Amino acid sequence: MTVSALSVSCLNVLRNKNLKNRNRMKDMMPKNGQFEMMQLPYAELPGVISANTQSFHHGKHLKAYVDNMNKMLPGSGLEDLPLAEVVKKSQGGLFNNAGQVLNHTMYFEQFGFANHELDGKMLELLERDFGSTEAFKKEFEQKGATLFGSGWVWLSMAADGKLVITQEANAGNPVTSGLKPLLTFDVWEHAYYLDYQNRRADYLAALWQAVDWQVVAARI
Ligand SMILES: [Fe+2]
């Protein structure tokens, strides 16, 4: 193996390890009944999401959800479960906060500065189930734009392997319907109002520029 081939190989090992870490959040376990807040892997997504929005969205909104969840977990009977199981088994305030921790963690982790081109398995699956990537993106944006009030639009895999797009109100996550969530766009106003004001459709259309499709594919 040449030195340059060895360097590429080492980089791929590091990258795959990083991807694995970034996709384990739904399996994240609490320590002494408390979950840690994920670290934001970037300060901004230039031209898509500003540092100001990221700072409020991660530092204020997600932090509040994590703090609230951690206050409600002790004595709930769910304090030793992975995050996705807490979401599946909880109700009321604990469900709202745990759901938002899972949703935001998956949202922030799926963006980055690489792998913006669809290829391989994800491309194959999207073309199989939606006809084309353009048709998939159009339906995804349309479902995000027409979700009334606050919530999330999701791409998930059903038990039969088919990809589906769903709308989830408030803190909803497709895991509660037996689906495997792969990709999500946050349509709560706090996700876009500082940068896009009321132009939710523009925000949704811009987000594709920042999706790291390898992170999404690793969630299958
Ligand atoms: Fe949000």
| 184: DSSP letter | E
- Write the CATH number for 109: 3.55.40.20
Own/partner contacts of 134-141, CB < 8 Å, gap of 24 or more, are 136/165, 137/208, 139/165, 140/165, 140/185, 140/204, 141/201, 141/204, 141/205
- Distance, CA 4 to ligand 1 centroid (Å)? 42
Has residue 36 got a pLDDT over 50? yes
Note the pLDDT of residue 26.
Answer: 59
100 CA distance to ligand 1 centroid (A)?
Answer: 8
CA nearest neighbour of 173 among 67, 90, 63, 87: 87
Residue 124 falls inside a structural domain: yes
Assigned domain for 82 exists: yes
Let me know if residue 199 belongs to a domain.
yes
Residue 5's alpha-carbon distances to 1, 14, 17, 49, in angstroms, are 6, 14, 18, 35
Q: Is residue 6 part of a domain?
A: no
List of residues 6+ apart from 19 with CB closer than 8 A = 214, 215, 218
Please write the tens of the pLDDT for every residue from 87-136: 999 999 999 999 999 999 999 999 999 999 999 999 999 999 999 999 99
Residue whose entry in the numeric block shows the structure tokens 């980055």: 112
**Residue-range definition of the domain harbouring residue 60:** 48-220
Two tokens, residue 77: 């009977």
The mean pLDDT value of the chain amounts to: 91
Instruction: Enumerate residues 6+ apart whose C-beta is below 8 A from 120.
Output: 217
Work out how many domains the chain is built from and give that number: 1
- DSSP letter for 61, please: I
What are the structure tokens assigned to 49, written together?
């999401």
The pLDDT-based confidence of 28 (bands split at 50, 70, 90) is: confident
The predicted-structure confidence for 60-99, as pLDDT tens digits, reads as follows 999 999 999 999 999 999 999 999 999 999 999 999 999 9
Average pLDDT of the segment spanning 16-34: 67
pLDDT band (50, 70, 90) for residue 11: very low
One DSSP character per residue, 80-93 reads TS-HHHHHHH--HH
pLDDT tops 50 at residue 6: no
* C-alpha 150 to ligand 1 mean position (Å): 9
Q: How confident is the model at residue 19 (pLDDT cuts 50, 70, 90)?
A: low
Q: Decide if 28 is inside a domain.
A: no
Inside any domain, residue 114: yes
Q: What is the pLDDT of residue 13?
A: 45
Is residue 12 in a domain?
A: no
146 C-alpha vs ligand 1 centroid, how far in Å? 17
pLDDT at 209: 98
Dig out the tokens for 143 from the structure. Answer: 């479902």
How far apart CA 66 and CA 17 sit, in angstroms, is 25
pLDDT single digits (tens) 159-216: 999 999 999 999 999 999 999 999 999 999 999 999 999 999 999 999 999 999 999 9
